[in-house]
Structure 1
Amino acid sequence: MLIKIIDGLNEAVGRVVSCVAAIFAVLILFDVVMRYVFHLPTRWGFDVTKQLFGFYFIMLGGYALRHQSHVRVDLLIERLTPTWRRWVEVLGYPIFFFPFAWIFMSKSYEFALRSWKQGETTYGAVQLPVYPLKMAMTVAAVLLFIQGVSEFLKLVLNKEN
């Protein structure tokens, strides 16, 4: 049940966040047309698309892990039997993944909280708030961590996606 809830949450977040790609594609196209066709570049276009891309990239970590789309070093385990490969992955989660994800969660939370308290903004021509993007890092870290729990449970319980 827990596995289905976590997988479903990251699936839903991934599908919703993937729509952001269309939004920033339209914004980039708009900015390019304004700049090169009408010679009226926007002051905000670069900053907004940069923040949207950062949001898009960071928020899809849990979704990517759910679909086994993360970069992996399979050179070491590709020659192992499926059983040995599974056990190497089972050990890899508590040794490598969970400590990394915990540090990512705790440090991104501190980072976001400091930004929120300072009312941090970009330093460009248009001063956009930065703290929403930094808060998204914390949410993304939590989503990645709980998806790691799901993947770990699947390995231990020998369940398929």
Structure 2
Amino acid sequence: MPKAIRHYVRVMDATSRITGRLTMLLIFAMMAVLFWSAVSKNTPGLLPSIWTLEVAQFLMVTYFLVGGAYALQTESHVRMDLLYGMWSRRTKTWVDVFTIFFLIFYLSVLLYGGLSSTSYALEYGERSYSAWRPYMAPIKIIMCLGITLTLLQAFAELFKDIARLRGERLGEPAP
């Protein structure tokens, strides 16, 4: 494989690993927000917080979308394993090369819609319809970032699979 592709795969693997591991910590922030929500709703004298549900949702969206590239890199995503598990590594790689194009198409369409929605949110100052009414642009920017990272990692996985079919080793093993 060309040196530029090798470098791209190394950079994307490192980026996905770092963002994925940092994103894992958001589960603790989400737990803290939901804990506060339970405490504020069930403690006499405390007013229930109106922001907790949406903050927890925003944290979950960030956790899910920004962690997508890491899940793809480490093969932690959900896979239909009716036949896949019985196939040889080479057959699995051929199937992965074929199906990754569907993922790339899907992520590209998702990113297009996300960028359009983010542009709208920034231009018109879109806010949530809840009582708290937070601005939607920050979470939409994070959404586009997560989709972009996953799309870039999908290309890195495609390059790894092509190299594997050629008998080469590309990238480092996922932890």
| Superposition TM-score, scaled by structure 2 size | 0.85
**Segment drifting more, 137-146 vs 75-84:** 75-84
**Partner of residue 78 from structure 2, selected from 58, 71, 84:** 71
Give the SS at the match of 1:75: coil
RMSD: 1.5
Following superposition, the deviation at residue 66 of structure 1 comes to 0.9
Residue in structure 2 matched with residue 147 of structure 1 by the alignment: 153
Residue in structure 1 matched with residue 4 of structure 2 by the alignment: none
**Segment drifting more, 6-15 vs 78-87:** 78-87
Determine whether 1:85 maps to 2:59.
Answer: no
| AA aligned opposite 1:151 | E
Determine whether 1:115 maps to 2:157.
Answer: no
- Give runs of ≥4 in structure 1 deviating > 4 Å: none
For 2:55 and 2:87, locate their aligned partners in 1 and report how far apart those are by CA, in whole Å. 46
For 1:91 and 1:42, locate their aligned partners in 2 and report how far apart those are by CA, in whole Å. 48
Following superposition, the deviation at residue 121 of structure 1 comes to 0.9
Following superposition, the deviation at residue 40 of structure 1 comes to 2.3
Give the SS at the match of 1:92: helix
Following superposition, the deviation at residue 27 of structure 1 comes to 1.3
Residue in structure 1 matched with residue 65 of structure 2 by the alignment: 58
CA deviation vs aligned residue, 1:89-124 (integer Å, no higher than 9, x gap)? 112222x12211211221211111111111111111
Following superposition, the deviation at residue 146 of structure 1 comes to 0.7
Residue in structure 1 matched with residue 3 of structure 2 by the alignment: none
For 1:121 and 1:93, locate their aligned partners in 2 and report how far apart those are by CA, in whole Å. 35
Following superposition, the deviation at residue 75 of structure 1 comes to 1.4
For 1:11 and 1:80, locate their aligned partners in 2 and report how far apart those are by CA, in whole Å. 28
Aligned length in residues: 160
Residue in structure 1 matched with residue 49 of structure 2 by the alignment: 42
Following superposition, the deviation at residue 79 of structure 1 comes to 2.7
Identity %: 24
Following superposition, the deviation at residue 28 of structure 1 comes to 1.1
CA deviation vs aligned residue, 1:34-93 (integer Å, no higher than 9, x gap)? 111235211212222222222222211111101101111121333322211211111222
For 2:83 and 2:107, locate their aligned partners in 1 and report how far apart those are by CA, in whole Å. 22
Which consecutive residues of structure 2, in runs of 5 or more, have no partner in the other structure?
1-6
Alignment of 1:100-111 (within 5 A): 100-111=106-117
For 1:74 and 1:147, locate their aligned partners in 2 and report how far apart those are by CA, in whole Å. 22
